[in-house]
Structure 1
Amino acid sequence: MKRILTATALVSVIATGAMAQSESSFNANEINTFIPEVNVEMLPDAQVASLMAIISGDGNEESKEREMRAYLGEFKSNNPELEITLYPDGLSDAEVEAMMAYAPGVDVYELTDEQFAELRAVLATNDEEAIKAYIETLQM
């Protein structure tokens, strides 16, 4: 009798795990049907649930895709974990961190080569006042 109960408990635990796995795979497939570039495994459960609600809601596929992209766009602009910013080649990690700290509003792609070289030189000094002063000249 104990063996039967143990086997039943074991089967139910395994089945529950498999069911959860198949549900997450199903959700990933559904979301990737609309937005293939999204890594669903990296999204929090709340976002996955919201995206699934959009999928099962009213509207055609095009409007659902737009709504899903808009929804993820909100999180992209508010959640630094999801935001991807590409910096020009040659910037070290320390320079990127300094730019994020001192010049979050500066678009390095709009800088001339000379301004970019000056910015790198100022960042290398680690002089906070000099960095702030140079950033102010860029933002004018």
Structure 2
Amino acid sequence: MVTTPSATTQPLGAGKWQGGFALVAFIAKSPIFQFGGLITWQASFAGQADRTSTSLAALQPFYFWQLGKGTYLRGAPIWAFDFKNEAYSVPLALGIGKVVKLGGTVFNLFVEPQYSMLVYGVQPQFQVFTGINLQFMAGK
């Protein structure tokens, strides 16, 4: 993976070129329960000299339990590790989602509270992850 220094001001980004890797696995053998995970790591290799170097990792377990009729329980917390600033956040998550079809569009809506059981440094203790995904069906 490659991250470009595209932030316009310091609070919005690291101001560094970063490179690393991403690995993902997803198991969907069951129509009821699906799970997997994403692992990423990136470190700075160039960029603004007055900015701090970076070394960041993220682990994201994700799990979905289908309840029927488009309703599901879910979790996709991101466990963040900032090795340069010695900071981390390890949240647990459990949310609910609903998939509905209206006309030629499929809506996937969810809300997922996340509470960090382990926190060190400037990291969130509690957050709410929400989302709306739209899939537009092609006409026949």
State the TM bucket, normalised to the shorter chain.
under 0.3
Q: Which of the two has higher C-alpha Rg?
A: 1
Higher strand share: 2
TM-score, reference length from structure 1? 0.18
